[in-house]
Amino acid sequence: MKHIIKSSEPISFTNWKRTHPGLRYKDLKGSPKTDLKNALISEQKHLCCYCERRIYDADSHIEHFRPKGNPLYQHLELDYNNLHASCIKYLSTGVEPQCGHKKENTFTNTLLSPLEPDCACHFWYTLDGVIHSVDDRGKEAIDIYNLNSGTLIRQRKGLTDFFTSDLSSEADIIDHLDSSKSCLGEFYTMIEYLHNNNNI
């Protein structure tokens, strides 16, 4: 999980809320919703807020950290700081739920948020593509977001296999970890961790 630094919400989204004070998230459509989603993806540098898979508009959805389906948090359903972009637009038959789709309406006061500056410190990684917890909060996040789904483990292992093969060089790793890019390397914190610990 990579720390997300929130930017300002899109003007079209702000204006929609101002001119439609009685409406809810389900009523958000058209350009304001498109602009909102694009802003979330952009500020996350095209990585899912929880697992860090590469995301684009067509394969992602707007995620409410504090669930809009929970009456306790309905007042936050249009709060920009409660909104992220998560992988998988729609769940289909045979697709293992993960990230926002796995979390659904689950929420606890200890649930790890990508807005916490030290969120990456709750995990460590191995070359087999498995994410491990450092503490109870890391374990809770892995369970609730299903960060060790079969799909994610295979994808992460595919990346570590590449970076440990003769096809890759130190320059490839440095390029992958270039934080100045508008589109970050997939599974960024895993590659950063393994590189810092001399595993790749």
Short-list 30, 40, 36, CA closest to 10 = 36
| Contacts by 51-54, CB closer than 8 A, 24 or more apart | 51/1, 51/87, 51/98, 51/99, 51/145, 51/147, 51/152, 51/187, 52/1, 52/2, 52/186, 52/187, 52/188, 52/189, 52/190, 53/87, 53/152, 53/155, 53/186, 53/187, 54/183, 54/186
> In this model, does residue 105 exceed pLDDT 90?
yes
Classify residue 47 by its DSSP letter: B
Q: Which of the four pLDDT bands, split at 50, 70 and 90, describes residue 92?
A: confident
Distance CA(120)–CA(124), nearest Å, equals 8
Q: What is the pLDDT of residues 4-33, one digit of tens each?
A: 999 999 999 999 999 999 999 999 999 999
86 DSSP β-pair partners: 61
SS3 category, 139: helix
Q: What is the pLDDT of residues 126-139, one digit of tens each?
A: 999 999 999 999 99
Q: What was the pLDDT predicted at 151?
A: 96
Q: Say if residues 44 and 92 touch (Cβ distance below 8 Å).
A: no
| Both structure tokens of 24 | 């809810």
* pTM of model > 0.75: yes
Q: What was the pLDDT predicted at 58?
A: 94
